[in-house]
Amino acid sequence: MSRSSRFSGKSVLAAALLLLAAPAAPAQQTSPTELPPPTPPPPSDVPAAAGDSLESGGPALGTLTFPTSGATEAARQAFRTGVLALHSFWYPEARDRFRRAQRLDPGFAMAYWGEAMTHEHPLWEQHDGEAGRAVLTRLDSVKAARDGTLDVTAREQTYLDALRTLYEGEGDIEERRAAYAEQMTRLAERFPDDDEATLFAALARMGAPRFDLEDADEVVDVAAPLEGLYRDHPRHPGVLHYLIHAYDSETFAPMGRRMARTYAQVAPSSSHALHMPSHIFRELEMWEKMAASNVDAYRASVQWQQETDRPLRMRDFHAYRWLFDAYMAQEKYDQTARLIERLNGLIETARERGEDPGYMTDLLDRLRKHQEARTMTE
């Protein structure tokens, strides 16, 4: 299933420029043509009401620095864990952590910012405006109860202002996303020492209308500041994740191999972090590695769903579908048939438990059609 090369001269030049800007790769124990297997998920995760630090049994999601005005260290730690989950698109877990921070410190404005951010999924083209505005309404109530003031810095207020543009600004969601991306870019420029601002600005730009992964100029513009962060913070989960997304194309996928080597090891509690290297593996036609990533991702999501007693539909069926594609690419039709059979069983179990199977039913129909046609789902 090999593809013909479609590199344009402009794209090759762009990739070469990024390679020159990239830091030297650290010494590897493996062959440069082989990637180490991802670190398996830790033995357990915890629901939001339990401890938030790695030392107290919280999820392994990496580390970051994000100064805030939270009143207590416990609230700030919950917030940081929420941001780490947010960087790995683990939105339900992030929401739990931000709500915990609010319980610990009801006046912690950035905890409301974080919760509202869990309702915006720009790269998935999902946006729950009603839920996001409901969070902002709660924040407004907190402000009103405190004589119309919030304990925030000028930098934090800029984050909140950009968030209000996203949820309460003029125009439709595409117009608001474009305006939000501009504000986040200005925020990053105003506070150049704020690595998180640079990251969220890059994500906003990739989620803005008409961003094109096949446009070398656009990719370089987004990737360049991320590469700068990668040089200084090669294990920051947001840096790794967003660079993989930026390089998710045939042209730039070789650049993403550095991040694919690391991201799953940095944030092994997140099923999405375990899945993301497979975006690079898919472009490079590394089908066995693509399959292994999504086996790990789905297993991690099962573990989290069971530990937190969530409905079956909360498992990572995106990774499940990509596993189907990895097997299909290898013509392992018995494996794809088993995935279909297992999914059908999960739907029956969900209904027996009185749960809404959600996306599982549509996915089952989709997999059956592609099984019959012997084709990948995308």
What does the domain layout of the chain look like in residue ranges?
45-209
Q: 13-27, 33-47, 315-329: which range is least confident on average?
A: 33-47
The CA radius of gyration of the chain, in Å to the nearest whole number, is 21
Q: 35-44, 66-75, 211-220: which range is least confident on average?
A: 35-44
Q: Read off the pLDDT band of 18 (50, 70, 90).
A: low
Which token pair is 361? Answer: 């039913």
Q: 48-57, 86-95, 183-192: which range is least confident on average?
A: 48-57
Provide φ and ψ at 125, rounded to 5°: 55, 40
What are the counts of helices (DSSP H) followed by strands (DSSP E) for the chain? 18, 2
Q: For residue 269, what pLDDT is reported?
A: 97
Helix or strand (DSSP H, E) at 82: helix 73-87
Choice between 39 and 178, residue whose per-residue pLDDT is larger: 178
Q: Read off the pLDDT band of 29 (50, 70, 90).
A: very low
The answer, yes or no, to whether residue 303 has pLDDT greater than 70, is: yes
**Alpha-carbon gap, residue 374 to 329, rounded angstroms:** 9
**Alpha-carbon gap, residue 376 to 106, rounded angstroms:** 48
With beta carbons less than 8 A apart as the criterion, state whether 236 and 229 touch: yes
**Alpha-carbon gap, residue 218 to 220, rounded angstroms:** 5
Residue 209 has a CB neighbour count (10 Å cut-off) of 12
Q: Read off the pLDDT band of 14 (50, 70, 90).
A: low
**Alpha-carbon gap, residue 264 to 297, rounded angstroms:** 9
What is the mean pLDDT of the segment spanning 40-53? 32
Which token pair is 47? Answer: 């629901």
With beta carbons less than 8 A apart as the criterion, state whether 342 and 298 touch: no
DSSP notation for 110-125:
HHHHHHHHTTEEGGGT
Q: For residue 17, what pLDDT is reported?
A: 52
What is the mean pLDDT of the segment spanning 298-305? 97
Provide φ and ψ at 107, rounded to 5°: -95, 10
The answer, yes or no, to whether residue 143 has pLDDT greater than 70, is: yes
Q: For residue 58, what pLDDT is reported?
A: 82
Provide φ and ψ at 267, rounded to 5°: -130, 60
What is the mean pLDDT of the segment spanning 26-34? 36
- Return the ∠ at Cα 223 (arms to 219 and 224), rounded to 5°: 115
Q: Read off the pLDDT band of 30 (50, 70, 90).
A: very low
**What is the domain class of 45-209 according to CATH?**
mainly alpha
Q: For residue 296, what pLDDT is reported?
A: 98
Q: For residue 367, what pLDDT is reported?
A: 98
The answer, yes or no, to whether residue 321 has pLDDT greater than 60, is: yes
Identity (one letter) of the amino acid at 302?
Answer: V
Q: Which residue has the tokens 């105003």?
A: 190
Cα 8 off chain centre by:
29
Residue 126: strand pairing partners: 121
Q: Read off the pLDDT band of 7 (50, 70, 90).
A: very low
Q: 56-60, 111-115, 260-264, 343-347: which range is least confident on average?
A: 56-60
Q: 29-33, 168-172, 236-240: which range is least confident on average?
A: 29-33
What is the mean pLDDT of the segment spanning 56-84? 92
The answer, yes or no, to whether residue 322 has pLDDT greater than 70, is: yes
Residue from 326, 304, 313, 320 nearest 353 by CA: 313
**Alpha-carbon gap, residue 184 to 201, rounded angstroms:** 5
Choice between 70 and 138, residue whose per-residue pLDDT is larger: 138
Q: For residue 144, what pLDDT is reported?
A: 96
Provide, rounded to the nearest whole percent, the portion of the chain with pLDDT above 90: 83
**Alpha-carbon gap, residue 134 to 64, rounded angstroms:** 28
Where b means 16+ CB within 10 Å and e means fewer, 256-284 reads bbbbbbbbbbbbbbbbbbbbbbbbbbbbb
Residue 121: strand pairing partners: 126
Q: For residue 71, what pLDDT is reported?
A: 83
With beta carbons less than 8 A apart as the criterion, state whether 355 and 305 touch: no
Cα 276 off chain centre by:
8
Q: For residue 70, what pLDDT is reported?
A: 82
Q: For residue 136, what pLDDT is reported?
A: 98
Q: For residue 19, what pLDDT is reported?
A: 54
Q: Collapse the DSSP code of 344 into the 3-class scheme (helix H, G, I; strand E, B; otherwise coil) and give the result.
A: helix
Choice between 12 and 235, residue whose per-residue pLDDT is larger: 235
**Alpha-carbon gap, residue 335 to 325, rounded angstroms:** 10
Q: For residue 335, what pLDDT is reported?
A: 98
Exposed (0-12), middle (13-18) or buried (19+): which is 160, by Cβ within 10 Å? middle
The answer, yes or no, to whether residue 34 has pLDDT greater than 70, is: no
Average pLDDT, the chain: 88
